[in-house]
Amino acid sequence: MATNTKEVSDLLLLIPFIAGHPGVTVGEVARHLGCTRARVEGHLNRILMCGVPPYLPDNYIGYAREGDRIFLTLASHMSHPVRLTLEEALGLRLLLQALPPAGKGRSPAATLLKKIESALAAGAGGEFHKMSRAIALAEPKRFFAEKFDSLREAVREHREITVEYYSPSSERLGTHTVRPLGLLDHEGDWYLVAEGKRGDRLILRVDRIKSVGRTGRDFEPPGDFDIADYRVREVYFPGKDAVSCRVRFSPELAPWVEERFDRRRLRRRRDGSVVLSLKASSPQWLFRFLLKFGGDARLLSPKDFVRDFRKTLRRLLEIYSAPQAKIR
In a domain, 145, yes or no: no
* Assigned domain for 95 exists: yes
Whether 170 and 191 map to the same domain: the answer is yes
The answer to whether residue 122 scores a pLDDT higher than 90 is: no
Q: Dmax over Cα atoms in the chain, in whole Å? A: 69
Same domain, 309 and 270: yes
Question: In this structure, what is the dihedral angle of CA atoms 198, 201, 205, 210, given to the nearest 10 degrees?
Answer: 20
Give the tens place of pLDDT for each residue, 285-319.
788 889 888 889 999 999 999 999 999 899 888 87
Question: What is the structure's pLDDT at 101?
Answer: 59
Among the ranges 15-24, 123-132, 227-236, which has the highest mean pLDDT value? Answer: 15-24
CB under 8 Å to 254, separation ≥6 — which residues? 268, 272, 273, 274
pLDDT for residue 220: 92
On whether both 221 and 188 belong to a single domain, the answer is yes
Q: Give 85-104 pLDDT, tens digit per residue.
A: 888 888 888 877 766 655 55
Q: What is the pLDDT of residue 1?
A: 42
Do 74 and 90 fall within a single domain? no
Distance CA 217, CA 183 (A): 20
Residue 24 lies in a domain: yes
Q: Which of 34-38, 256-260, 266-270, 318-322 has the lowest mean pLDDT?
A: 318-322
CA distance 147 to 128: 30
Pairing of strands 297-301, 266-268: unpaired
- Report the pLDDT averaged over residues 119-128: 77
User: For a pLDDT cut of 90, what percent of the chain falls above it?
Assistant: 27
Name the domain boundary from 78, 108, 125: 78
CATH number of the domain that 11 lies in?
1.10.10.10
Q: Answer yes or no: do 170 and 195 share one domain.
A: yes
Q: Which domain holds residue 125?
A: 86-134
Instruction: State the Cα–Cα distance between residues 274 and 248, nearest whole angstrom.
Output: 6
CATH of the domain at 177: 2.30.30
Average pLDDT over residues 56-83: 81
Same domain as 50, residue 90: no
**How far, rounded to the nearest angstrom, does the alpha carbon of residue 39 sit from its chain's CA centroid?**
28
The average pLDDT across 211-236 equals 82
Q: Which burial class, exposed, middle or buried, applies to 204 when counting CB atoms under 10 A from its CB (0-12, 13-18, 19+)?
A: buried
Q: What average pLDDT does range 65-92 have in this prediction?
A: 81
Does 37 reside within a domain?
yes
Q: Is 154 left (phi over 0), alpha (psi -120 to 50) or beta?
A: alpha
Residue of 83 and 79 predicted with greater confidence: 83
User: Does the structure show a pLDDT above 80 at 124?
Assistant: no
Last residue of a domain, one of 54, 78, 102: 78
Mean pLDDT across 246-258:
91
Q: Looking at the domain assignment, is residue 289 inside a domain?
A: yes
pLDDT category at 2 given cuts 50, 70, 90 is: very low
143 in any annotated domain: no
pLDDT confidence band for 169 (50 / 70 / 90): low
The total number of structural domains in the chain stands at 4
Q: Quick: pLDDT tens for 29-53.
A: 999 888 888 889 988 988 888 887 7
Query: Among 230, 264, 298, where does a domain finish?
Result: 230
Given this model, what pLDDT does residue 272 score?
93
Q: Does the residue 328 lie in any domain?
A: no
The mean pLDDT of the chain is 82
